[in-house]
Amino acid sequence: MECDLMETDIVESLEDLGYKGPLLEDGALSQAVSAGASSPEFTKLCAWLVSELRVLCKLEENVQATNSPSEAEEFQLEVSGLLGEMNCPYLSLTSGDVTKRLLIQKNCLLLLTYLISELEAARMLCVNAPPKKAQEGGGSEVFQELKGICIALGMSKPPANITMFQFFSGIEKKLKETLAKVPPNHVRKPLLRKPMGPAHWEKIEAINQAIANEYEVRRNLLIKRLDVTVQSFGWSDRAKSQIEKLAKVYQPKRSVLSPKSTISVAHLLAARQDLSKILRTSSGSIREKTACAINKVLMGRVQIFAKCRRPFIIAAENKSLAELMFYILPY
């Protein structure tokens, strides 16, 4: 009787949360929890609940759905790690043999109840959370972007009493009018087609920031390598007299190189499906148009002492400049 009541509450809660899976059908949930971790449908439901939680909460652990009963043990290990991170208070889910916890029907129902309650609480906190303060100076930047859109579309200055909904509706209408004048497929379908909510956009922004930080580190390294390489051109006695000329040519180009990424979430919204195509960069047909004369320059019979992790002498004869730079560039 207790399990039947729990199943009824779980089905009702899943409907409220927007779950559209097969376990809403009569008897499907009961059959799935009876098999527990051995049921792929049960693991898919758990994976869905966890994925929704991860959108709203900063969780490191994740749970993957299984495809066969043989993967039940791995699934239970993942669930154990997740519950440990979430500080789950139910001892039946956090103690005992980890490979047998979710083979018991009551434990499976308890797990679903716990994940559902956590997801409901997370969504309520997200809705009731105060709006984040706009970054200082962000308003003027947004204004300039919107102004640029209006100018590009040939729109007149909007009245002062216009609402944001009316303003963006006007932009959408003008965009449709403009697109109707261009040939079919002139603008391809968007790469991102799934609708997103505020929590999703915050997650995407966090991902973009993490990637941008890594990009900045990598670009700083490349710029440093470039500086060191250019400096090495002035080591010889003959080149020392040309250092000022070299700096005069190099510095203007160097000053415009920035380690900061200019990619934002707006670029994701603007991306089209053709951006996902992977093009070869080193095939024969591509290199015919991208190769330059410096690739054919070979060194004479000289030796170079390469300062790497393990210094060694390399023979430079019949090596291109590009090949030698592989040895000379700092690690």
pLDDT at position 180: 87
Task: Kindly list the domain boundaries of the chain, sorted by start residue.
Answer: 2-128, 139-179, 188-277, 278-331
**Rounded CA gap, 174 and 181, in Å?**
11
8 A C-beta contact, residue 58 and residue 30: no
Average pLDDT over all residues of the chain: 82
Q: What is the pLDDT of residues 155-174, one digit of tens each?
A: 888 888 888 888 888 999 99
**Rounded CA gap, 155 and 170, in Å?**
9
E strand or H helix at 305, and its extent?
strand 303-306
8 A C-beta contact, residue 92 and residue 107: yes
**Rounded CA gap, 126 and 117, in Å?**
14
**Rounded CA gap, 194 and 206, in Å?**
18
For the chain (331 residues), the mean pLDDT of every run of 10, in chain order, is 83 91 90 93 94 88 92 93 92 90 92 94 82 51 82 86 87 89 84 83 90 92 90 81 85 89 88 78 68 64 47 48 51 41
Which stretches within 57-197 are classed as H helix? 72-85, 91-94, 105-128, 138-153, 164-179
Closest CA to 204 of 218, 216, 194: 194
Q: In sequence order, which residues have a C-beta less than 8 Å from that of residue 150 and are 6 or more positions away?
A: 156, 157, 158, 171
- Give CA separation, 113 vs 35, 92, 117, in Å: 17, 13, 6
pLDDT at position 284: 66
Phi and psi dihedrals of 64, rounded to 5? -105, 140
Q: How buried is 134 (Cβ within 10 angstroms: 0-12 exposed, 13-18 middle, 19+ buried)? A: exposed
- Give CA separation, 175 vs 157, 225, 294, in Å: 16, 45, 47
pLDDT at position 282: 66
The DSSP call for residue 20 is -
pLDDT at position 309: 43
**Rounded CA gap, 305 and 313, in Å?**
5
Tell me the three state secondary structure of residue 61.
coil
Counting Cα atoms < 13 Å in the Cβ hemisphere of 270 gives 5
- pTM over cut 0.85: no
**Rounded CA gap, 235 and 223, in Å?**
19
